[in-house]
Structure formats: structure tokens, C-alpha cells
Amino acid sequence: MNSEQEQPRIGIFICHCGTNIGGFVDVPDVAEYAKTLPNVVHAEHNLYTCADDGLTSIKNAIKEHNLNRLIVASCTPRTHAPLFQHTCESAGLNPYLFEFVNIREHCSWVHMKEKEEATLKAKDLVRMGVARANLLQPQAEKKVDVIPKAVVIGGGVAGMSASLSLANQGFKTYLVEKRDQLGGMVRNYYKLTPTNIDAVELIENMASELKKCENIEMLMSSTVKDVEGYIGNFKVTVEGDTDKTLEVGTIIVATGAQEYKPDGLYEYGKDDRVVTTIELEKMMRGKELEGIDHVIMIQCVGSRGEAIPYCSRVCCMTAIKNAIYLKEEFGIGVNILHNEIRVYGDDYEALYRKAQEIGVHFNRFGENNKPNVINENGKLTVEMFNEGLSRVEEYPADLIVLSTPMVNIPEAEELSKMLKVPLGQDRFFFEAHVKLRPLDFATDGIYLCGTAHAPATIPEAIAQGYGAASRASIPLTRGYVQVEAITSYVDENKCRGCGKCVEVCEYKALELIKLDTGREVTRSNEVLCKGCGTCATTCCNGAISMKHFSSEQIISMIEAALTEPALVKPLTNGFKPNIIAFCCNWCSYAGADLAGVSRFQYPPNVRIIRVMCSGRIEPNFVFKAFEKGADGVLVTGCHIGDCHYISGNQKAEDRMNMVRNIVHMLGLEKDRFGLVWISASEGQKFAELMTDFISKIKELGPTPFSIKK
């Protein structure tokens, strides 16, 4: 079907999502409204559009109403676009003729107490979607070959397991380890539960397995210095014993974690009889426990709000394990001072019972009533209010062991920038989806496992290592990936050959070529182009357009957001500002989604327009928004250094500083325009930012342009 010439025939499906949307937005009303919009020939609402019957009705409607554009107004494209695009395809509709409208994460979940306003906003969002859908064009995707090799960064238990499985599946695998030995953190430990194997023996067993695999190449004492490319074709520069550039199809991050050093807490660093768990494990390995009869362990040192917010998952189990070894093998008595014992599952709970049976003492302190270490006359004592017994107790100690949490390694910061993958607020690597994609990054072709993801036990890290190997082996086995058709396209008639675009493209996707006529013009390479749109924004001749994110499409959304007075009219007396926020697909849009799933509420005045990169935002988009009556405009993107397209946000920053000045010259307050960086993990920040920005705009009142309307 040739949709370019055909009059658009738009079908729109509005989802109740059970009550997730339906409970806070009047969905049937939105569907009725949708029918009044240009070229909408069919509108319906479903309890769950993504369920089998929803998808069937989409397919039927495409056939029955001869639809050539499809809109689903429901959750977020970040999880559900593939499903609906697939449905389009199976009904013979090009997947690029599908438009997603997010009325859950960006509407019903963040305006749970304002049904009327949320319904109006949903209508606005639908109207914006219809505007864009009218301008969508079919696109064809290119296939790219995948180099059937992988690199695993980090040779701890997770990375070793990942490498083994990849190799056993037949793929050449490079294992990059910064130390000169494999095994990571585990090498320092004494023995391991539940099998009581010596920690180094476990590592040696695993290492000898790896050595059997011909297609594993180990790069020891080496670190990753640079990463270029994309799924299927990464170039990873490694520095170390031998410098090398590895060409691989996929990358696994297994860089592990380290223990938090509790400097300044509980006399740590002041008295060497106060040690961390790993230091104890080393003492046990070296059998350096002479003269010690009694050990006091203190749990949650630094964790659960003391220095870092999270619970480190493994330290209760580890303390218990060590207490049992101390007691059984060294004849040393142990008290474990804790707020609660967080062992879980079957094996660890059994360990806890065993410790109680053999006489390890467990003493509970209150949540906000941590113990004190007293160091007097060469004697160490821990004083604690025992909550269970409602009295203060003193525990003399020959050695105090502090159970401190795992924290990410400092190098993770740099690695995350090289790979363009985010860290979470806890500073661990942040996965694509907390529930269903725990081992993937949002960026295709890069995966994670082990304690780089979050604290984990050894078998958990090993299972994750295998899991990451499974994920990473999918493109390697297929041998190709399809690249999105979101690419630049140069109109050679408009191009003057100035070459500015060639300079800004980080992917060398543009080059100047000489036409037969002798004129120089830019040409775009669809396979190399990543679709950020920076070039299109840079070209002052309007010669470059972006497929699927054309300027016309984006402007149509801006206009639609601001041109239906009936909807923007204040509900109650007073000023109700209209705000346009541009969000980048990778960070700030994901942050807005996270605000939604977390139910962080903010006022319903913001209309979000998704672009691939903040570098795509043309100054004209901002001016257009103000001209059409926006009272405030926000441009948001990934934090500097985190840009999915290397430097798109930096270019946006330069450009937007200029925009801010022009906005001012137009007679508008500078504060009406904002440029902010929000990561995928900053849902709370997104909501707070929206709340603050809206209240600031409320103080400023309407603009001369918006009053006119």
C-alpha cells in the first residue's frame, strides 16, 4: 500500500489498562473525542489493548476500515512499541505508520487525583499523536551483519561464567580483566556456603574450565579504554599487557563491585582490631586469629541509610557463614549485632538456624539506635541498646567485624560513559527494565551481570553470567540485526556543500561527495547513521531531514498541543499554563516513564514530545512553541557525558544557550525556557522538576503570545 499518496485513514485504540488508565482518565470520552480529529476513521477503547483480543481487534480494524495509520494510546513505547508494530506488520501495515501515545506513565499515573484534568491532557496527547500520524511515512529497515564474537569486561565469577557459556556456544570470546588474576572479590574470601569449598579452589576450578576452551582469549591486566560502534560491530580498545582493538558483536559488563570502606565509623581506621568482613575473610584465610576469643559483628554498617540507602543483600548471610566457621573451626565465640536478619530463601535461612543451634548469639538493636564502639584502656567494647530485651548491654570484643555494603567500583563511572549506558541512583549499572530485562541495557548489544548490577551472592552472579551470555548470544547466533530506519536523509538540491553537518556527526555517517555537475553535496550512510538528528538541526539550509522524526512531524505536535482553545481553557479560575517538554528517548523520556511507574505526582500542565536526542531540537521548535502560546518550554536530555549519541546533548547545550538569549530578546523571561539533564533512573527528579517549573511559570503568568489566544 502506498501511504505517501493515499489520504491518511487513521485508526486509534485507547487502552483502559484495567484501571491503570481507566481509573484516572475517562477513556470512552477520549475515544469519542478522537473520532472528531482529522482523518480518524476509527476509534475504540479496550480493557487491555495489548492482550490477544486487543491485538486481534487492531488487525481486524486495519482490514475492515482500510486503515493506513495506527495509533495506540496506552502505556510507553519503551516497552510496548515492538508489540504493536509487529501487529501492524502482520496486518500488512508498515510499522513506521504506527504512532504511540503515552497516556499512562505520562498521564494517568502522574495525575491520579485529577481525573478531569488528566482526561483533558489525554485528549491533548491524542490530538498530538493524530497530528504526527497524519505525517508519518513508511520506512524500510536495513540489515547489518553481526561479528560473531563477544567481549566480556571483568573476570570475576559472573564474567567467567558468561565467557564459558559463550565459548561453549561456539563464539570467540575475549575476557578482559584489570587484575593479573581471575576471580575478582571472591579470591579474598575464606570458604563459601553452602558447599564449604575453599574460595580460591572455586576460582581455580572455574579458571581451568575456561582454559579448556580454545575460543576464549584472556586479556589480563587490561582495561577498556574506548568503545565505538553499535550492536553487531563494536570496536573495543583495550590497554594492558598488549594493547588491542577488539572487533565484536556484543559486550557484557561484569565489572563487579567492591566493599564500602567505613572510614570514621565504629573506630574503623583508628584501631586495627576493627575490620571489615573482607578483612576478616583474609584473616581467616591466613589463619591469623591468634589471641582472639570473641568476635563482635555489627551489621548494616554504612548501609540502609547510614551512608548509602540500600540493603546490600549478602552481608547478613556472610556474617552468619563466617560466625559458623569462626565457631566451628577456630573455637571463637561470636555475637552478631543486627537490626534484623535478612537471609532469604532456603539455604541461607537454614544457615541462620544452624548458627542459632551452635550458639552464635544474635542481638538486635533498634532501627535508629545503632551500637557504639568504646575503646578504653586498650579494651574494645560495644555498647548497644538491645531492643528485644529493652536494656543497654555491653559486649567485650577481641575483634570487631563491620558488615559493610557493596558499592560499585569507581571506574564504573568512566565505563558507563564509554559504553553510553546509565548508572542508577545507587551508582550500580542501570538495566533496561527492572522486572523483565534485568540483564540488558537499553542500548542494544550491551548486557550486564553480577554485582555490577546490584549486590548478589555467588550462585546468583553465576546464574546472571550465564543469563547475560544467553542474551548476548542472540544477535551473535542470528548473524544480523535490523537497524532502525530512523536516519538522516539529505536533499541534494538544497544542500550547499558547506560540510557543517559532516563535522558534527559523531558516527562519520555523512560525507561530502562531488556530483557529476561538479557541485559538492553531503550524502548520508544509512547504516552508519544512528539517527540522533544533530546534523538536521545543524544544517541551516534545511537540507537534512530525519526519517520518522521530521521537523514537520515535530512541529505538527507542537501546534496540536497548543491549538485547541477548548481544551487549554482553565478549568477553574486562574492561570493554567501550557508547557511543552522535549524529552530524549534514552534518558529523560525514560525518567518521565519512571516517574509514572513510581506514581510520583506532578501537575498536569506538561505535554511531552519525544525525540531521539536533545541534539535534534531545532531552535525553531522552541520559538514555534512560544509563538503558538506555550507559557514555558523545557528541553531535556541525558546528563553530559551520558548522551546515547556521544555528544548530542553538548551540542544541544550550546544551541539552547543561544535560544535562551533569543527568547529573552523576544521579550520573554529567561526562566520560561529550561534545559535540564535527567537520567533514566531519575523519576523523582523528573516529577520534582516538572512541579517546580510549573509553579515558576505560574508565578510569571501568561506570555503576550498565550494571552492573545
Partner 1 sequence: MTATKNILVIGGGVAGIQASLDLADKGINVYLVEREPSIGGIMALLDKTFPTNDCSICILAPKMNECFANPNIRILTNSELISLEGEAPDFRATIVKKARFVDEKKCTGCGDCTQKCPVKVPNKYNMNLDKRKAIYLPFPQSVPRIMTIDKERCLKFTKDKCGNCIKVCKAGAIDYEQNDEKIVLDVGAVIVASGFEIYNPSDMFEYGYGKYSNVKTAMEYERLICASGPTGGHLVVEPGGERPKRLGFIQCVGSRDLSRKNPYCSSVCCMHATKEAMLAKEHYDDIETYIFFLDLRAVGKNFQQYVDRAKKDYGIKYLRARPGRIMENEEKGTLTIWYDDLIDPHIQSIDVDMVVLCTALMPSSTAPKMGEILGIELDEYGFFCAKDPLANPVCSTKKGIFIAGYCAGPKDIPESVAEASGASARASEVIAQSGGGDVP
Q: Which of residues 502-521 bind ligand SF4 (CB under 6 A)?
A: 504-505, 507, 509-510
Nearer to partner 1 (CB atom), residue 480 or residue 492: 480
Mask 357-396, x = binds partner 1 (CB under 8 A)?
---------x--------------------xx-x------
C-alpha cell at 370: 545503632
The item of ligand SF4, partner 1, none sharing an interface with residue 488, based on CB under 5 to 8 Å by kind, is ligand SF4
**Binders in 313-372 for ligand SF4, by CB under 6 A:** 344
Count residues binding ligand SF4 (CB under 6 A).
16
Q: What is the dihedral of CA 674, 678, 684, 690, to 10 degrees?
A: 20
The side-by-side arrangement of strands in the sheet containing 399-402 is 274-276, 399-402, 294-298, 333-338, 361-364
- How many CA atoms does the CB half-sphere of 316 hold within 13 Å? 23
Q: Is 343 in the site for partner 1 (CB under 8 A)?
A: yes
Smallest separation (angstroms) from partner 1 to the CB of 458 = 6
- Cα–Cα distance measured from residue 331 to residue 566, given in angstroms and rounded to the nearest whole number: 80
CA torsion angle 215 219 225 229 (round to 10): 0
Distance of alpha carbon 621 from alpha carbon 452, whole angstroms:
39
- Asked if 663 and 655 touch (Cβ cutoff 8 Å), the reply is no
In one letter, which amino acid is 92?
G
**Residues in 472-501 at the binding interface with partner 1, rule: CB under 8 A:** 473-474, 477-478
152 contacts 166 by C-beta, under 8 angstroms: yes
Among 465, 533, 637, 674, which residue sits at the site for partner 1 (rule: CB under 8 A)? 465
> Which positions from 280 through 339 interact with partner 1, judged by CB under 8 A?
303-305, 309-311, 313
What size, in residues, is the chain?
709
CB of 281 to partner 1, least distance (A): 16
Shortest distance (Å) from residue 643 CB to ligand SF4: 11
Query: Which listed residue (14, 43, 50, 446) binds partner 1 by CB under 8 A?
Result: 50
Grid cell locating 608: 511531552
Going by C-alpha positions, the residue among 21, 136, 12 that lies closest to residue 72 is: 12
52 binds, among partner 1, ligand SF4, none (CB under 5 to 8 A by kind): partner 1
Does residue 346 interact with partner 1 by CB under 8 A?
yes
- Shortest Å distance, C-beta 470 to partner 1: 4
510 binds, among ligand SF4, partner 1, none (CB under 5 to 8 A by kind): ligand SF4
**Paired sense of beta strands 197-198 and 223-230, if any:** unpaired
What's the grid cell of residue 621?
A: 521548535
Q: For residues 70 and 62, give the distance between their C-alpha atoms in angstroms, rounded to a whole number.
A: 8
Return the exposure string of 298-327: e unless at least 16 CB atoms fall within 10 Å of the residue's CB, then b.
bbbbbbbeebbebbbbbbbbbbbbbbbbbb
The Cα 505–Cα 500 span in angstroms is: 9
Residue 675's φ and ψ, nearest 5 degrees, are -125, 120
Q: For partner 1, which residue of 350, 640, 658, 707 counts as binding (CB under 8 A)? A: 350
**Which partner, partner 1, ligand SF4, none, binds residue 396 by CB below 5 to 8 Å per kind?**
none
Binding partner 1 by CB under 8 A: which of 250, 299, 464, 537? 464
SS3 letters for 360-421?
A: CEEEEEECCECCEEEEECCEEEEEEEECCCCEEEEEEECEEEECCCEEECCCHHHHHHHHCC
- Position 468 contacts partner 1 (CB under 8 A): yes
Return the SS3 of 423.
strand
DSSP H helices, 393-495, are: 412-419, 458-478
Nearer to ligand SF4, 89 or 367 (CB): 367
**C-alpha to C-alpha distance for 402 and 177, rounded to whole angstroms:** 29
> Which entry of partner 1, ligand SF4, none binds 56, CB below 5 to 8 A by partner kind?
partner 1
Q: By CB under 8 A, is residue 438 in contact with partner 1?
A: yes
**Contact code string over 557-596 relative to partner 1, x by CB under 8 A:** -------------------------------------x--
Does 255 bind partner 1 (CB under 8 A)? Our answer is: no
What does 382 bind: ligand SF4, partner 1, none (CB cut-off 5 to 8 Å by kind)? Answer: none
Site for partner 1 in 143-172 (CB under 8 A): 164-165, 167-170
Q: Is 342 in the site for partner 1 (CB under 8 A)?
A: yes
**How far is 301 from 402, CA to CA, in rounded Å?**
6
* Contact characters 424-463, ligand SF4, x per CB under 6 A: ----------------------------------------
Q: CA 445, 449, 452, 455: dihedral to nearest 10 degrees?
A: 150
Which residue among 20, 102, 299, 538 contacts partner 1 (CB under 8 A)? 20
Convert residues 598-627 into a mask of x (bound to partner 1 by CB under 8 A) and - (unbound).
Answer: xx----------------------------
Query: Which of 200, 220, 504, 597 is the binder for partner 1 (CB under 8 A)?
Result: 597
> Binding residue for partner 1 (CB under 8 A) from 223, 237, 470, 650?
470
Q: Torsions phi, psi of 646, nearest 5?
A: 75, -65
Pick what 530 binds: ligand SF4, partner 1, none; C-beta below 5 to 8 Å, kind-dependent: ligand SF4
Beta bridge partners of 73: 14, 101
Amino acid at 693: F
Residue from the set 40, 210, 423, 543 that interacts with partner 1 by CB under 8 A: 210
Report the partner that residue 531 touches, choosing among partner 1, ligand SF4, none (CB closer than 5 to 8 A by kind).
ligand SF4
Residues numbered 98-127 forming contacts with ligand SF4, rule: CB under 6 A: none
Alpha-carbon distance 194 to 309, whole Å?
Answer: 29
Alpha carbon 468 to chain centroid distance?
16
Q: Is 463 in the site for partner 1 (CB under 8 A)?
A: yes
Residue 434 binds partner 1, judged by CB under 8 A: yes
Instruction: Return d(Cα 334, Cα 159) in angstroms, integer.
Output: 34
Residue 645 CB, nearest approach to ligand SF4 (Å): 6
Nearer to ligand SF4, 505 or 560 (CB): 505
Minimal distance in Å, beta carbon 351 to partner 1?
11
Range in contact with partner 1 (rule: CB under 8 A) among 144-152, 221-229, 435-443, 695-703: 435-443
* Alpha carbon distances (Å) from 468 to 146, 150, 431, 448, 659: 17, 11, 12, 6, 44
The nearest distance, CB 228 to ligand SF4, in angstroms, is 13
Q: How far is the CB of 529 from ligand SF4 (least distance, A)?
A: 3
Site for ligand SF4 in 136-195 (CB under 6 A): none
**222 vs 545, which CB is nearer to ligand SF4?**
545
Q: Residue 118 has which C-alpha cell? A: 488528566
Give the whole-angstrom CA distance, residue 551 versus residue 542. Answer: 10
Interface of this chain with ligand SF4, residues 519 to 538, rule: CB under 6 A: 524, 529-535
Our CB check for ligand SF4 shows the closer of 153 and 316 to be 316
Rounded to a whole number of angstroms, the minimum distance from the CB of residue 549 to ligand SF4 is: 9
| Peptide bond preceding 194 in cis form (omega within 30 of 0) | yes
The binder of 529, among partner 1, ligand SF4, none, by C-beta within 5 to 8 A per type, is ligand SF4
- DSSP letter for 679, please: -
The one-letter code for the residue type at 644 is H
User: Helices then strands (H, E): number in the chain?
Assistant: 20, 34
Three-state secondary structure call for residue 118: helix
- List the interface residues with ligand SF4, window 532-591 (CB under 6 A): 532-535
Residues that bind ligand SF4 (CB under 6 A): 344, 487-488, 504-505, 507, 509-510, 524, 529-535
